[in-house]
Amino acid sequence: MKAENVKLGIAPIGWTNDDLPEIGKENTFEQCVSEMALAGFTGSEVGSKYPRDTQILKQKLALRGIQICNAWFSTFFVDGKKEQTIKDFIAHRDFLYEMGAKVIGCSEQSRSIQGQKKAIFKEKPIFNEQDWALLAEGYNELAKLAAEKGMKVCLHHHMGTGIQTPAEIDKYMDIVNDDVYLLFDSGHLYYSEGSQQAMLDVLAKYIDRICHVHLKDVRDEVVAEVKANGLSFLEGVVKGTFTVPGDGVIDFKPIFEILDKHNYKGWMVVEAEQDPALANPLEYAIKGRQYIRDVAGI
């Protein structure tokens, strides 16, 4: 890949999991961002331990050569909470803008089971036509609000939500305006479909409307256990569903090739939530960074 086109970041979720705060609770913000820099990354998303005062955050990140590139935002349009979602989004947008980020990664969390003790494959929500209409209306509005600051909104397709499968991604991309984008996550698509090809097909199909990329690997044997035992999303995470690129079953070479061929410009963020007691965050960050160097040449 062309090094001038992409920047490499890593998510703090490998150090402390915001969905399961007891996992990695011993890891401080300072340790997290220091180890990100030590592993060779220049960007980060935002975790719950990060200071929200932008001046303090900027100073601490500048010491380590780290930039903020995105931060998770939950939307609740399908639940009918448009007014509150818009209000919260504006505050979130302004925080990210102040930190210099260009994209805002959102996830439609209405009826999501990703944080619940429900079987991730059998109990995910299914949106009806009225739900999709509410979603499209909401995301089209978010895109306008993001554009006010020269930013882009992208939806993070995610296990346990109403937008998980390729068919649901197709529906979403079809009903929103062209200024609403997609956050491509290798791990969530592979997890959903159990197929490298299905994951690559989505990437190739929507490459021109993808403005942020999550690089996440998957362990097939853990997914098989999750399916066989009806486990929840977080139960799978604790068991090690996800890992850094190069440590699981996904071949990232064709992912990098598609991104390069289409001149993707933006961030690629390693996002591999694991139990840090089992997968030392610095060790795995270095492992992921080395794999990207070896395979993508950057």
* Rounded Cα–Cα distance for residues 92 and 26 (Å): 27
Give the chain's count of helices (H) and strands (E): 11, 11
User: Quick check: 49 and 12 in contact, CB under 8 A?
Assistant: yes
User: Quick check: 212 and 146 in contact, CB under 8 A?
Assistant: no
- Which residues have a Cβ under 8 Å from the Cβ of 296 and sit 6 or more positions away? 1, 252, 256, 260
Q: Angle at Cα 106 formed by Cα 263 and Cα 258, nearest 5°? A: 20
Rg for the chain (alpha carbons), in Å? 18
The reported pLDDT for the residue numbered 212 is: 98
Beta-ladder partners of 104: 153
DSSP string, 226-287: HHHHT--HHHHHHHTSEE-TTSSS---HHHHHHHHHTT--EEEEE-----TTTS-HHHHHHH
pTM for this entry: 0.98
Beta-ladder partners of 269: 9, 214
* Pair of tokens at residue 33: 């961002």
* Rounded Cα–Cα distance for residues 283 and 58 (Å): 26
End-to-end CA separation in angstroms for the chain: 7
* Pair of tokens at residue 214: 């999550």
Residue 45 φ then ψ, to 5°:
-90, -175
Q: Which domains does the chain have, with CATH numbers?
A: 6-296 (3.20.20.150)
Residue 223 φ then ψ, to 5°:
-60, -40
Give the side-chain half-sphere CA count within 13 A for 194. Answer: 8
The reported pLDDT for the residue numbered 181 is: 98
User: Along the 298 residues of the chain, how does pLDDT read in single tens digits?
Assistant: 999 999 999 999 999 999 998 999 999 999 999 999 999 999 999 999 999 999 999 999 999 999 999 999 999 999 999 999 999 999 999 999 999 999 999 999 999 999 999 999 999 999 999 999 999 999 999 999 999 999 999 999 999 999 999 999 999 999 999 999 999 999 999 999 999 999 999 999 999 999 999 999 999 999 999 999 999 999 999 999 999 999 999 999 999 999 999 999 999 999 999 999 999 999 999 999 999 999 999 9
Q: Could you tell me whether strands 242-243 and 217-218 are parallel, antiparallel, or unpaired per DSSP bridges?
A: antiparallel
The reported pLDDT for the residue numbered 21 is: 86
Residue 7 φ then ψ, to 5°:
-120, 150
The reported pLDDT for the residue numbered 255 is: 98
- Which of 107, 98, 120 has the alpha carbon at shortest distance from 157? 107
Sign of the alpha-carbon torsion through 88, 89, 93, 96: positive
Four-CA torsion 126, 132, 138, 142, nearest 10 degrees? 80
